[in-house]
Amino acid sequence: MKVYNLACPLDHHFEGWFASEQDAHDQQEQGLLRCPVCDSDEITRLPSAPRISKKMAEPPVETVPADTGNAMVLSGNESAKLQAQIQATMLKAMRDLMQKTEDVGDNFAEEARKIHYREAPERSIRGQTSADEAAELREEGIDVIALPVIPALKDTLQ
């Protein structure tokens, strides 16, 4: 079993588990290897090193710039962990949103108006519309939030 650290051009990091190195190459050539966040098929393998546990007498000392103000300073490892936690939280929130809303597709503006003017039952909906149409909805007093389209959220990642 081969486990690779992977990333897409938008710097979304994830792991890929493969039966062999050839299996990884085959999946990438067939377009099966895709980013779970943005669905990009431009995947690169990141350098990785085996984790070797060593006992250290003292933890490494990090130097911090004198004038950090209110900024939080994180080590590379802490930063990567925080980034992974943020990404996982965002994915969970987006999945929850997808499960709790009805997809009305290209009929979003029409359906939003029907709900607003009580011509259709009140419910949470999602769909696609143009920026101009979204602006018109806002002018009518209809709350609209634009979110990025993440195709991978329609299916499970595993």
pTM of the predicted protein model: 0.48
Q: Which two tokens stand for residue 81?
A: 């962990």
For the chain (158 residues), the mean pLDDT of every run of 10, in chain order, is: 88 88 91 85 83 58 55 69 80 84 92 94 92 93 82 53
pLDDT of residue 54: 61
Distance CA 8, CA 134 (A): 30
pLDDT of residue 152: 57
pLDDT of residue 157: 45
pLDDT of residue 62: 53
H helices present in the chain, as ranges: 21-29, 76-99, 108-116, 131-139
pLDDT of residue 99: 87
Q: Which two tokens stand for residue 4?
A: 């690779």
DSSP codes, 92-118: HHHHHHHHTSEEEETTHHHHHHHHHTT
Query: Going by DSSP bridges, is the β-strand pair 2-7/13-18 parallel, antiparallel, or unpaired?
Result: antiparallel
Are the beta carbons of 104 and 111 closer than 8 angstroms?
yes
pLDDT of residue 59: 56
